Amino acid sequence: MIATAPTAEAPVKPAPPAELDELTLLRAQRGDARARRDLVVRYQRPVFALLSRMLFHRGQQLALEDLAQETFLRVFKALPGFQRSGPARLSTWILTIATNLAIDHLRRRKLPTDSLSDASEPEADAATDSDAERRRLAAVLRRAIDELAPEYRAAFLLREYHEFEYAEIASTLQIDLGTVKSRLSRARAALRRSLEEVYRAR
């Protein structure tokens, strides 16, 4: 079973998936097809959630699905060597593979981004509607995250959306803790500036 995009929209901040039980993981490491299907079902939502935020650009659905499938193909190839008693959780290990694939994809293909000023304006009669305002804010944030450099975007998403510890981010991106903190600080500062620019222009 290869990953397919979930039909329901991923939540803004997905809850960490419950880890695959030890017996199913062991069977998946031995190549059991049913256990591997269970692994995909368990982890496909966080993988798609991460990749969709890394590749927010319109028209990237095909690339998103390709990268999700490549993620699980690489997972299965390397799975026999995964250390169940090691420091990394299975979910962290899988999202590390997805993150690195997304960063490589973005480095290879620099795509144009929409200006924050192009964020859709709410209808005049909905200007005070809280739902419309939340949707507008979400659109602004998506575009602001999309304008971050891939490495900064990855660090921010892993921390804020997938709740990785700093050490896990450092391991995933192969950087030291100081660099993790620096990238997160700069990413948050860039997002704050983007939001301030939008609301000053209103």
> What's the number of domains the chain is made of?
2
The pLDDT tens digits for 41-97 are: 999 999 999 999 888 764 566 789 999 999 999 999 999 999 988 888 999 999 999
Same domain, 119 and 108: no
Same domain, 118 and 107: no
Residue pair 150/107 in contact by the 8 Å Cβ criterion: yes
Domain membership of residue 25 (yes or no) is yes
What CATH number should be reported for the domain holding residue 147? 1.10.10.10
User: What CA–CA distance (Å, rounded) separates 30 from 39?
Assistant: 13
Same domain, 35 and 96: yes
CA gyration radius, the chain: 18
The pLDDT tens digits for 158-181 are: 999 899 999 999 999 999 999 999
Same domain, 195 and 146: yes
- Whose CA is closest to 2, among 30, 36, 51, 46? 36
Distant-in-sequence, close-in-space partners of 151: CB < 8 Å, separation ≥ 6: 103, 173, 183
Q: How many other C-beta atoms lie within 10 A of the C-beta of residue 41?
A: 12
What CATH number should be reported for the domain holding residue 45? 1.10.1740.10
